[in-house]
Amino acid sequence: MSLSIIWQGGLKFTAGPAGPPINLDSSAPGVLSPMQVLAYAVMACMGMDVAHVLQKGRHDLQKLEVTFEGTRAPKPPKRYTGIHLHFAVTGSVPDEAVARAIDLSRTTYCSVSNSLREDIEFKTTFTVKAS
């Protein structure tokens, strides 16, 4: 994979011509920061894995929402020291299937979460709401 970003002045960057459009800024309202992008990346990666595993298992997945709570170090580089992902599943899906899908994503499939430092406290929880 080869991507680039182009400086727009201040702390603003946009995606280069090889990638889809994205705007990044350190702290501008309405523009993603790099730390938010990382949070979205881990949510999307694990969410896609969980949806895929549940659908492949022929479970009645009707809705999946993933939420992120992150704890950051107080001093630079202010990295994530803790991540909590919550998966809200709607459908006739057994708890065991959801737990297995999350575990498979976390330990085997999600390249984003597996690229993070190993000393991050990484917690996952889930709820299942029957449809």
Distance CA 103, CA 87 (A): 12
Q: How confident is the model at residue 109 (pLDDT cuts 50, 70, 90)?
A: very high
* Beta-bridge mates of residue 13: 7, 24
Q: pTM of the full predicted structure?
A: 0.93
Q: How far apart are the first and last CA of the chain?
A: 40
The predicted-structure confidence for 34-70, as pLDDT tens digits, reads as follows: 999 999 999 999 999 999 999 999 999 999 999 999 9
Residues ≥6 apart with Cβ < 8 Å to 49: 101, 104, 105, 109, 110
Phi, psi of 19 (to 5 degrees): -120, 170
Helix ranges, the chain (H): 34-56, 95-104
